[in-house]
Amino acid sequence: MRPPPEAKLVDSALQKWNRDGPQQQTAPTRRNLKMEPSEKRPKERPGSGDRFLANLAYLVPGYQGYKEPTMRQDEDARLRTRILDNLGELTERLTERAAVLERLSLTAAGEHLEQRLKRLARIEKAVRFSPLGFTQFFERESIPESCIEKILETDLMLFHEFDEAMEHVRGTPFPPSSKRGFLRFFTSLDAAIDRIERGLVSRDRVLASC
């Protein structure tokens, strides 16, 4: 009996993660993926492997929709909605921190944070309008399996970058107690946004090449 098409996507994504993903003590497996969320949920904040499995469980079932021209645009819209949700959550957390800085009259730091918020707003606008440039992808009669696998790999790494950015924002005591602390916070935040932006560019390039 041939394995279901989802199995190939899962195996490909797991191999990609275990080869290129962050180092971790326990690598994710397909057996882990079948566990119910309530069975897997640790009391402490989930690690990168757990977040990867959660993203994989969300992404894989819908990827077969890319094979059908009538479903392709709807499936891509579903994924872009989740990207926008992630951007919105990150923006909301940073906006809360901007309010703290305003309350404490830390004007210079507030201006620096406002610049990052404007950058996220520009990224969000690009995500909303980028599907308009992929008419050929949505209208193709068929999409090669290799392209679908590449889209999945790209999206998994993109959502991992969102998870890491949120982990940084949530996990950093705020406001920092020193100028050096603020510098570390903004440097790490800039690097996280850079990686998210590169992930979005990579996704668009994959769609354009399929």
What CATH number has the domain bearing residue 197?
Answer: 1.20.120
Q: What is the mean pLDDT of the chain?
A: 78
9 assigned to some structural domain: no
137 assigned to some structural domain: yes
96 assigned to some structural domain: yes
154: containing domain: 65-209
Per the CB < 8 A criterion, the answer to whether 159 and 87 are in contact is: no
pLDDT in tens, 75-115: 888 888 999 999 999 999 999 999 999 999 999 999 999 99
Alpha helices in 24-68 (DSSP H): 30-33, 37-40, 48-63
What is the SS3 string spanning 98-122?
HHHHHHCCCHHHHHHHHHHHHHHHH
103 assigned to some structural domain: yes
Report CA-CA distances (Å) from 79 to 83, 141, 177: 6, 21, 38
Report if pTM > 0.75: no
Which tokens sit at 183? Answer: 């510098």
Give the number of domains in the chain.
1
pLDDT of residue 31: 42
Of residues 41 and 73, more confidence is placed in 73
87 assigned to some structural domain: yes
What distance in Å separates the CA atoms of residue 5 and residue 167, rounded to the nearest whole number?
A: 33
